[in-house]
Amino acid sequence: MTAAKATSTAILSFAAEDLRAIISELGTLEKRLDALKLKINLALGSNREPYKAWIDELREIKNIVERIRK
């Protein structure tokens, strides 16, 4: 194996590790967003209108995270 090929392989290995770490962090973030959404829903009870924008924003963030993970 040439030095350039070894360097290229090492860089790809580090990139793969970085991507795995990012995917893991995104999974954690997604779970936290779900928990926050549930807390908002439970706290609001029947009066949801003032906080509907928060829930919509959380849903949008979660959709972005899901797209990144795919």
Tell whether 14 is covered by a domain.
no
Tell whether 30 is covered by a domain.
yes
Tell whether 55 is covered by a domain.
yes
Handedness of CA 42, 43, 45, 47 (dihedral sign): negative
Tell whether 56 is covered by a domain.
yes
> Which residues constitute the domain of residue 57?
25-70
Tell whether 13 is covered by a domain.
no
This prediction's pTM: 0.55
Specify the number of domains making up the chain. Answer: 1
Q: Are the C-beta atoms of 58 and 37 separated by less than 8 Å? A: yes
Tell whether 5 is covered by a domain.
no
Q: Name the token pair of 69.
A: 């993970």
The string of pLDDT tens digits covering residues 8-67 is 776 767 778 888 888 888 888 888 888 887 877 777 665 656 677 777 878 888 888 888
